[in-house]
Amino acid sequence: MLKEDPPQQGANVFLTIDARIQAIADEALRAVSRAGAVVVDPNNGNVLAMASVPSFDPNTFIPSIKAKDWQALRKDEGDPLVNRAMSALPPGSTFKLITSFAGLRKNLTNNKYNCGGGVSYGDHFFRCWVAEKHYTHGTIGLVDAIKVSCDSFFYQYGNAAGIQSIDAVGKMLGIGQESGLQLSGEQTGNMPGPEWMQIHHPQERWSQAQTANVSIGQGYTLVSPLQLAMAYATAANGGTCYYPRLVDKVLNQDGSPVLDEHGKPAIPQTPRVRYDLRREVTPEQIELVRKGLWKVVNEDGGTGGRARLKDVVVAGKTGTAQATDRGHEENVAWFVCFAPFDHPKYVVAVMVQGASGHGGEVAGPIATRILERTVAMDEGNFDMQVAWTSPAHHPNPLQLIKAVSYTGGNLGSDDEEGADASQSADVQMASDNASPDVEQEPDAQGQVSKRPRVARAVTAPAPRPLNFFERLFGARRPAPQPTPVPPRRRF
């Protein structure tokens, strides 16, 4: 023995996660399977909760599931190590926030477009969701188009803004970009455009139809709940897009901050700003978008009326994208909201895979429950107990979810968006291609057993190495697809 360094107690790491809000989010998500939720502080980018639920316990056999579906679920949606809060999926109409800002920076503030039930591009008629209800939205401007989620408006508005502007604003707000949290399992998603198409689908040519699809959050567009939460935080706070923060501070045992190699605190207390959107649009233009999000929830005719709360003003956006995954059609339901409207403290983003209902029916009540309980806790009217709970279990994870309701929740109305009869798009869904490495447990003698743990989930095959362009642009190659068309649901 030449030298011995005695063990020393390490530094203390303090997260931005609020255990009570995390417990609220975890409890709310137990109503569904294959879902993710994120709660952030719009004033500094702090992540207050990041919750995810799997379909089922992958070690429990469910006789009612066909063998081929069982094998797929064991390897994909059922893997409890998938962090759906950071998984990228088609965002549907929640993406209209990005399209709105893209048009505003192109001076389309006062533009109005007519909704005649849809718009034709090439040989395809892109329907508005309202066409199934046998009426149209008429001629409307941006604020009311956000309120009623008019697809026809955003097809035309997005093409007037141009895909380059949509692509630029998306990247400013972190769409298709790494969050900076450096967590395993994060999917950066896709912010598609002509350059992206040339790299990933060189046989296809970008068109107005492609732009129309991206404008409503469809086509090749893939976004994570974390990315959407940060984008809506930008609207909530008036234009500052922050990087999300998960580590608040790291302190030595004496309470002093841990320093980096340059002698500065390893974790700065100052929030990191990704982009100041006020370089592109005016505060008055940002307020127009905020007004539209307010109308979604608080005015008759808005698509998010279920999110109204008695003592706090909520603003938000519904979204639903219908996709075909391995031959099965299902909806991806979204709802993103913030409150209080005048001085926002919380942004909540909820995504639910495997829905038959739309975002307002499925994801909306979950987001509202998280927000309602969090605000009530601040006011001293709710006490969330932080305790261990058993893993969520759903006896039939393949059953599509029509709606989620809680006791005392708001009821829907005839103003909620319906479906159209367009062909659904085949898109990439969340998968377990980045499960974290887990050390095996040692035995009584401190040795690591060579036998696999009985309760460990099945690990998917190692993903193929990324090529140069995928590393450069942070996008994964989806399966070859025909020119995308609007899905059946996208609100």
485 in any annotated domain: no
Residue 317 CB-density burial (10 A; 0-12 exposed, 13-18 middle, 19+ buried): buried
Phi, psi of 453, deg, nearest 5: -65, 140
Determine the distance from the C-alpha atom of residue 19 to the mean position of all C-alpha atoms in its chain, rounded to a whole number: 21
Both tokens assigned to 463 = 């993903």
Confidence at residue 409, expressed as pLDDT on a 0 to 100 scale: 66
In a domain, 133, yes or no: yes
- Under a CB-based contact definition with an 8 Å cutoff, are residues 314 and 371 in contact? yes
Tell me the residue range of the domain where 180 lies. 14-250+258-473
The share of the chain scoring above pLDDT 70, in percent, equals 75
What pTM, to 2 d.p., does this model score? 0.81
Paired residues of 53 in beta bridges: 35
Cβ–Cβ < 8 Å for 87, 187: yes
What is the band of 469 on the pLDDT scale with cuts at 50, 70, 90? very low
CA 360 to chain centre: 15
Closest CA to 402 of 359, 366, 362: 362
The reply to whether 3 falls in a domain is: no
- The pLDDT assigned to 57 comes to 46
Tell me the average pLDDT across 184-200: 92
Q: Which is higher by pLDDT, 57 or 217?
A: 217
Asked if the structure places residue 489 within a domain, the reply is: no
Report if residue 246 sits inside a domain: yes
- CA within 13 Å, CB half, 266: 15
d(CA 150, CA 115): 8
Tell me if 225 sits within 8 A of 92, measured CB to CB: no
Residue 486 counted as domain residue: no
CATH code where residue 229 lies: 3.40.710.10
Would you say residue 126 has pLDDT above 70? yes
CA–CA distance, 148 with 153 (Å, rounded to integer):
10
Q: Which two tokens stand for residue 379?
A: 């006011």
Identity at 210, one-letter amino acid code? Q
For residue 227, is pLDDT > 80? yes
pLDDT tens string 24-70: 999 999 888 889 999 999 999 999 999 998 744 444 444 444 555 54
What is the CA angle 320-322-326, rounded to 5?
Answer: 140
Q: How confident is the model at residue 185 (pLDDT cuts 50, 70, 90)?
A: confident
Please, which pLDDT band fits residue 71 given cuts at 50, 70 and 90? Answer: low
Burial class of residue 415, CB neighbours in 10 A (0-12, 13-18, 19+): middle
H/E stretch holding 140 reads: strand 138-140
Question: In this predicted model, what pLDDT tens digit does every residue of 324-355 receive, in sequence order?
Answer: 665 667 889 999 999 999 999 999 999 998 88
pLDDT at 81: 67
Q: What is the mean pLDDT of residues 417-430?
A: 42
Q: Where is pLDDT greater, at 482 or 457?
A: 482
Pick the most confident of 288-292, 301-305, 385-389, 426-430.
Answer: 288-292
Checking if the pLDDT of 119 tops 60, the result is: yes
Question: Cα 487 from chain centroid?
Answer: 18
Indicate whether 427 pLDDT > 60: no
Dist CA 487 CA 322 (whole Å): 5
For residue 407, pLDDT over 50 is answered with: yes
pLDDT band at 480 (very low <50, low <70, confident <90, very high): very low
Mean pLDDT of 270-294: 97
**Element of type H or E holding 145:** helix 142-148
Q: What is the pLDDT of residues 306-332, one digit of tens each?
A: 899 988 999 999 998 877 665 667 889
Question: In the prediction, which pLDDT does 457 show?
Answer: 33
Note whether 115 and 105 are within 8 A (CB): no
Q: What is the pLDDT averaged over residues 168-185?
A: 93
User: How many Cα atoms are found within 13 Å in the side-chain-facing hemisphere of 374?
Assistant: 31
Residue 416 has pLDDT above 50, yes or no: yes
Average pLDDT for residues 467-476, to the nearest whole number?
Answer: 47
Q: Answer yes or no: are the C-beta atoms of 351 and 223 closer than 8 Å.
A: no
What pLDDT, on a 0 to 100 scale, did the predictor assign at position 31?
Answer: 87
Residue 443 lies in a domain: yes
d(CA 188, CA 474) in angstroms, rounded, equals 6
CB of 190 closer than 8 Å to CB of 478: yes
The confidence score (pLDDT) of residue 431 equals: 40
Alpha-carbon distance 346 to 233, whole Å?
8
The CA-based angle 365-368-374, given to 5 degrees, is 140
What is the four-CA torsion angle of 351, 356, 361, 367, rounded to 10 degrees? Answer: -20
Query: Is 5 inside a domain boundary?
Result: no
pLDDT of residue 325: 61
- Residues facing residue 155 across a β-bridge: none
Residue 176: pLDDT over 90: yes
* Domain count along the chain: 1
